[in-house]
Amino acid sequence: MSASPASSIAPLRPDWQRRYRVIRQIGSGGFATVYEAHDVDLGRRVALKVTEERRGLSARVAREVQAAAALGHPGIVCLYDVFTDGDHSFIVAELVEGEPVSRLIGQLDDAAAVEVARQILDALAHAHAQGVVHRDIKPANVMVTAEGTVKVMDFGIARLSGAETLTAEGDMLGTVAYMSPEQASGRRVGPPSDVYSAGVLLYELLSGENPAPAATPGERLGCISAGRLVPLDKHRPDLPPSLLDAVDAALGHDPSRRPSAADMAAALDAVLVSGELRRHRMRPAEVSRALALGERIVGAVLAGLAAWSLLAALPAYPPTWRLPLAIMAFVAWALLPAGGLAFLLGALAFPLFNVSVPVGAVYLIAALAALLLARGRPVTALWPVLALVVAPIYAALLAPLAAPVLGRVRGPLAAAWAGLGTCAYLVLAGVGGSPFTFFQPASGAAARIAHADGFVTALARIGAVLFSPEALLQAALWGGLAVALPLVLAQADRQRRLVGGGLMGAAVVLTYSLAPAAFGHAASPQGVVLTSLIAFLVTCGLAVRGVGRGVQEARTSA
């Protein structure tokens, strides 16, 4: 055998065309061209990847290729041969007929997407056990055969891609999209980097979006390095919590805290076995637009109703201003939700300062905090308004039951805030006998707050209403319902869903029946308790059957 070039340990084969007959070009990328070829000696079709020698097989890369060639796993494309002709480097690999995952984004149902990722991670676990790291997991490097078998390509040759030297912005953006934070920062990468990249791939299969959206490679690198990722539940709050948790873990910023490829594969396998995923196909872009539009419309309506009701309760502007201000709040929210929230809170400042300066000062601080905390999803600040709008028909529980659409964390927090806000409003407005304030009689709390002689006194009296034992208990109950409902809906077994719904109903009925006596209030009228129970069952039924199933169907298509 002739000597190899000094920069490579691959065999020198200037007569390679005697053995490998090129049939056709089947692909090209930023660093290589791939051909279908016929191996004359062994009588089989192969994939022939060709790169220029200057970007070819250095001794280190060639050793990695040889290590990858020893991997024997059905999910890893076999490497057969490595050589050079002096001008080009050649890698001969198994020819895979199928579709790259890059063409399947937005085309797979949820269960199929998770199965693809599970097979990728199973292949990675095998390679990692042999000391081989891929370094360039992305949709273009994963094939799915007609039989549904996943094949991971380019093990051991990721260094050939020279991702840090690519000049084509599209290629660079596509490569950067799947980089781990340590890879984006130029640090040494190991198996956790592959797990991160596989997590990004699964995220895209489930949502159609990249967790680090950006227009340029630089912007994306910055987002990845800083860990500024959009949680998957922002796009897919309907997915099982176990799946959302698995994706979040894979996308962890700290490599040492990510699961191993084997553990991640086991977690996805558990999701598949549980039957929590239905065989529906997402249309991510349509779903995202529909959810954003629906949330904007609901927020605009709630903003208009809040302005109309609160300005009536706090007369300070001329009466003829009430309707225009409510319309302006609606329009401002419809155009820009954050701006609509700012307008609504600003419009209420003068009436509250008109009550008293201390009350206005407390409100101003609270309004600024609300703007800051709700800037991501402004509608959460108005979630108590949703409960109050439907409270007269005993359907206030719609607020905690609908809150999960806001996300796994934001949803329960919004539900708890609605519980606090609803109680506080009804007490301050002097509304007694409500089933959602534990039948607490009307009090003079509003008058006492209005006559507070200082900021601290006003703050203490407002806090006493907002954080009363009754309000805190209701906040805990509503927050618990927002946590429990997705868990109940995620159960594949109908009996479990019925038991879970029954336990939720029992918790509501017991709380609203027993709490008044515990807090020293009058006993709950049995007729109102019965009405509350019926209203809860109807509302919960709508959520489980109508909202749960109907919204799921609206988000997906068979």
Long-range pairs for 309-317 at CB < 8 Å and ≥24 separation? Answer: 310/348, 310/351, 311/347, 311/348, 311/351, 313/429, 314/348, 314/351, 314/352, 314/354, 314/355, 315/351, 316/350, 316/351, 316/354, 317/350, 317/351
Topology of the domain comprising 99-280: Transferase(Phosphotransferase); domain 1 (1.10.510)
Nearby residues of 346 by Cβ (< 8 Å), 6 or more positions away: 367
Nearby residues of 42 by Cβ (< 8 Å), 6 or more positions away: none
Q: What is the mean pLDDT of residues 315-319?
A: 86
Task: With cut-offs at 50, 70 and 90, classify the pLDDT of residue 37.
Answer: very high
pLDDT score, position 121: 95
Residue numbers annotated as active site: 136
Q: Do domains 16-94 and 99-280 have the same CATH topology?
A: no
Q: Using CA atoms, how far apart are residues 166 and 169, in angstroms rounded to an integer? A: 8
pLDDT tens digits for range 172-207: 434 788 999 998 888 888 899 999 999 999 999 998
Q: Write out 30-66 in H/E/C secondary structure.
A: CCCEEEEEEECCCCEEEEEEEEEHHHCCCHHHHHHHH
pLDDT score, position 297: 92
Q: What is the mean pLDDT of residues 441-453?
A: 77
Task: With cut-offs at 50, 70 and 90, classify the pLDDT of residue 122.
Answer: very high
Note whether 89 and 4 are within 8 A (CB).
Answer: no
Q: What is the mean pLDDT of residues 86-110?
A: 84
Superfamily per CATH, domain 16-94: Phosphorylase Kinase; domain 1 (3.30.200.20)
Long-range pairs for 381-384 at CB < 8 Å and ≥24 separation? Answer: 381/341, 382/299, 382/302, 382/303, 382/306, 382/341, 383/414, 383/415, 383/417, 383/418, 383/421, 384/417, 384/418, 384/420, 384/421, 384/422, 384/425
* 26 three-state secondary structure: strand
DSSP states along 57-120: --HHHHHHHHHHHT---TTBPPEEEEEE-SSEEEEEEE---EEEGGGTTTTSBHHHHHHHHHHH
More confident residue, 220 or 3: 220
Give the best-scoring range by mean pLDDT among 102-111, 208-217, 328-337, 425-434.
328-337
Q: Using CA atoms, how far apart are residues 144 and 75, in angstroms rounded to an integer? A: 10
pLDDT score, position 555: 43
Task: With cut-offs at 50, 70 and 90, classify the pLDDT of residue 167.
Answer: very low
DSSP states along 213-257: --SSHHHHHHHHHHT----HHHH-TTS-HHHHHHHHHHT-SSGGG
CA 55 to chain CA centroid, Å, is 39
Over the range 75-107, which residues count as b (16 or more CB within 10 Å of their CB) and which as e? bbbbbbbbbbbeebbbbbbebbebebbeebbbe
What's the token pair of residue 111? 């269960």
pLDDT score, position 5: 41
CA-based max dimension of the chain: 99
CA geometry: angle 464, 466, 472, nearest 5 deg: 100
* 433 three-state secondary structure: coil
Total Cβ atoms within 10 A of residue 146:
8
Give the best-scoring range by mean pLDDT among 113-127, 467-481, 493-507.
113-127
Q: Using CA atoms, how far apart are residues 449 and 407, in angstroms rounded to an integer? A: 35
AA letter at 209: E
pLDDT score, position 505: 76
In the predicted model, is pLDDT for residue 67 greater than 70? no
Task: Tell me whether residue 7 is exposed, middle or buried, using C-beta atoms within 10 angstroms of its C-beta: 0 to 12, 13 to 18, 19 or more.
Answer: middle
Task: With cut-offs at 50, 70 and 90, classify the pLDDT of residue 234.
Answer: confident
* 27 three-state secondary structure: strand
Note whether 555 and 238 are within 8 A (CB).
Answer: yes
pLDDT tens digits for range 353-395: 988 899 989 999 999 999 888 887 899 999 999 988 887 777 7
* 492 three-state secondary structure: coil
Task: With cut-offs at 50, 70 and 90, classify the pLDDT of residue 407.
Answer: confident
Task: Tell me whether residue 530 is exposed, middle or buried, using C-beta atoms within 10 angstroms of its C-beta: 0 to 12, 13 to 18, 19 or more.
Answer: exposed
Total Cβ atoms within 10 A of residue 372:
8
Note whether 359 and 352 are within 8 A (CB).
Answer: yes
Over the range 154-189, which residues count as b (16 or more CB within 10 Å of their CB) and which as e? bbbbbbbbebeebeeeebbbbbbbbbbbbbbeeeeb
Average pLDDT, the chain: 79
* 438 three-state secondary structure: coil
pLDDT tens digits for range 10-24: 677 888 889 999 999
Q: What is the mean pLDDT of residues 434-451?
A: 67
Listed by start position, the domains of the chain span: 16-94, 99-280, 356-557
